[in-house]
Amino acid sequence: MAVVQVEQGALKGIECNYNGEQYVAFKGIPYATPPLGVLRFKAPKPPEPWQGIRDASEHGPVCPQYNERLYRIDPGSEDCLYLNVYTKAINPPQPLPVMVWIHGGGFYTGSGNSDFYGPEFFMKHDVILVTFNYRLEVLGFLCLDTEEVPGNAGLKDQVAALRWVKNNITAFGGDSNNITIFGCSAGAASTSYHLVSKMSEGLFNKAICQSGVCLNEWGYNIYGKERAFQLGKILGITTDSPNELLQFLRDMPVSSLIKIQLPILGKQHEDLADSIFFGPVIEKEHLNIEKFITEEPTNLIKNGKLANVPIMVGYTSAEGIEIGKRLAGIAGFLSMKGAVVPRELKLKWAPEKILEIDKKIRNYYFQDKEITPAILQEYVNFETDRLFAYNIVRFARYHVKNTSPVYLYKFTAETERNFTKKYYNMQEVAGVCHSDELPYLFNVTCINIPLTDVSRSIIKSIVDLWVNFASTGNPTSPNHEVQWKQFTNVERNCYVIDYECKCVPNINEENMKFWEEIYDESNL
């Protein structure tokens, strides 16, 4: 029987077997007090102890949400702050490296459950994998700019999970001084936030950001408080009092706080990134609480306020499919002057400059053609660079100023496991869709995704690279055929992950230089 003792009490896990690989799973471990009643929207409280041996054979409830992958409402429970630990050995000869996965989903959907994030591919290695839930959408990211609700409760949940792992992972055979955090999309943006947040200092030793960083403008919300009052109005209260709004929203049934649709704000500069209604915000400096982040990510990173730890960052070859799937519905918006200019720049430039750069971008990517479904591939290529790749490479360029190594990758492999592109019915577009690398890292069982000999070789490659990095800080060992060289500003090496991996310098160089000129960051 697999029993461990953690700070809060004893846990009984289950012994598992996958194709002859033995591992132990501990699921549904509470890492914070249930955020119920008056704790709704508040930062998490430490977990409470329990008596006897707690059964850890089943996942805890997920955060109430619209499950985007399965097209359904998952009612879950507000009592959702649970994590899962998968370990090769409770008593290994030496402590195992720990990998903590932060799930994505636009800050409004997803969970750490094994139906999508099955641990089996990692369990072929001597490593511990931790996954967890955090609060989403309104429950996790309501912001009233007050001490009660300053915003970022979901990110503070993540910190609580990391604190729990740091304090307890040795009980599962883990090395508390060798913890790697990693995530994709909103999970990757979250991972990069932990690199700049004082709350997360000392809780991890390495980081992997897959298809997102906090510089990507979809990764932070600049209208948090306004969105909160918009929500109140839609649900039936017109007030300018944060306290009155808080009381109203606390009394709302949780079903009213998921799958929220809000009207456009009517700002001078509308932006696609503003369609994530509830996400990370910049907390007010004057509030007398423990704050997650109080400066814009761009300022923190430009000023070198980054954890000095090894990082891996990267993207897929056609991230922009995630936006391109909606092109028919947003073509009208994209025809507006300034629509293709990044939000970060629009907010600080004069109208004349916005128009000048808008014209320059349209000429470069679309040869001044109107953006319609007729040029879907060009539009996907544009959004891959604008909303993903440029700021991921930019993050790498700033991190290089630390002494810790930086590794950049581009995922280009396509097999039957590239589920998302098929799901979006976007097969006519060239390249690998946003999040389509996930079925190569995790054993997905909630959707029928085939597993063949072709995809098994890519699974082996990517999991090996990730585990090597988590173990040693270097993704390729000396016996790898193709060495993954570090990214530097002199030699911007990129590891291309495909049937045959290769390491190439200055990938996508022309487009990156174009954006560096636009951002005026050629001379970092």
Residue 495's region, left for phi above 0, alpha for psi from -120 to 50, else beta, is beta
Q: Which residues are the active-site residues? A: 185, 319, 434
Mark out the alpha helices in 351-389 (DSSP H runs): 351-366, 376-384
Question: What DSSP line would sit under 136-175, residue for residue?
Answer: -HHHHH---SSSS--S-HHHHHHHHHHHHHHHHGGGGTEE
Task: Yes or no: say if 395 and 313 are a contact pair by the CB < 8 Å rule.
Answer: yes
Q: Tell me whether strands 174-184 and 206-210 are parallel, antiparallel or unpaired.
A: parallel
Instruction: Let me know how long the chain is.
Output: 524
Distance CA 448, CA 115 (A): 11
Q: In what order do the strands lie in the sheet containing 53-55?
A: 3-6, 9-12, 53-55
SS3 28: strand
**H/E stretch holding 15:** strand 14-18
Distance CA 519, CA 19 (A): 50
Distance CA 195, CA 217 (A): 17
Distance CA 208, CA 122 (A): 15
Which of 302, 41, 229, 306 is CA-nearest to residue 147?
41
